[in-house]
């Protein structure tokens, strides 16, 4: 998991460097606390990657990626909440963008709580904004996550 996270962070860093002249030239070295060291001719620059977004769909994906953790925290405060793994797929971007994060968080926590003993995947009768919610027995520590995707724009070919 950590290596995959570092790979994604490195991808975002390289994309940001190509898109913006703010980042000085230099060698990017993976590191922890901060995530990267940028070795420049003027010294080292520490970079902590939180989220780099160039387009609205990426920003929306960043917003949605926080929903499962927030819903897990809310769910854990419900009486008789048992440990579960939760996997989520959000619906169409146009629909989900119009739903507040707090509404998505609460509706996910409420849905999981209502179905916590069923341990299966759900594709019907879901809260607004969701395409799929899977509830499973946890392997170790309960893990709640959502798939992450965003649109890209195809570049035009110039002749």
**Which pLDDT tens digit goes with each residue over 31-41?**
888 888 888 88
Greatest alpha-carbon span in the chain: 64
Tell me the pLDDT of the chain averaged across its residues: 82
Determine the Cα–Cα distance for residues 43 and 73; give it in Å rounded to an integer.
41
pTM passes above 0.85: no
Residue 148 is predicted with a pLDDT of: 54
Least-confidence region, from 18-27, 45-54, 70-79: 45-54
**pLDDT tens per residue across span 136-159:** 999 888 999 887 544 444 445 555
Ranges of beta strands (E only) in the chain are: 27-30, 36-40, 43-47, 85-90, 121-122, 130-136, 144-146
Residue 62 is predicted with a pLDDT of: 67
Q: What is the number of alpha carbons within 13 Å of residue 120 lying toward its C-beta?
A: 7
pLDDT tops 80 at residue 14: no
Least-confidence region, from 14-23, 57-66, 98-107: 57-66
**pLDDT tens per residue across span 64-78:** 888 999 999 999 999
How far from 122 is each of 1, 65, 69, 93, 126, CA to CA, in Å?
26, 19, 19, 19, 7
Give 144's strand partners. 86
| Torsion of Cα atoms, 144 then 72 then 118 then 128, to 10° | -90
Determine the Cα–Cα distance for residues 150 and 40; give it in Å rounded to an integer.
32
Determine the Cα–Cα distance for residues 128 and 130; give it in Å rounded to an integer.
6
Sequence ranges of the domains in the chain = 2-47, 56-146
């Amino acid at each position: 998991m950590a290596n995959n996270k570092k790979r994604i962070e490195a991808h975002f860093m390289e994309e940001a460097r190509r898109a913006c002249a703010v980042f000085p030239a230099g060698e990017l070295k993976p590191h922890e606390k901060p995530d990267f060291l940028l070795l420049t001719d003027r010294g080292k620059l520490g970079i902590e990657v939180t989220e780099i977004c160039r387009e609205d769909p990426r920003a929306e994906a960043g917003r949605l990626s926080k929903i499962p953790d927030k819903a897990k925290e809310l769910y854990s405060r419900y009486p008789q909440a048992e440990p579960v793994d939760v996997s989520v797929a959000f619906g169409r971007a146009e629909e989900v963008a119009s739903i507040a994060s707090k509404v998505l968080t609460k509706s996910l926590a409420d849905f999981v709580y209502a179905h916590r003993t069923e341990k299966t995947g759900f594709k019907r009768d879901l809260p607004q904004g969701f395409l799929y919610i899977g509830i499973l027995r946890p392997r170790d520590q309960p893990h709640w996550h959502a798939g992450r995707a965003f649109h890209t724009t195809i570049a035009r070919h110039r002749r």
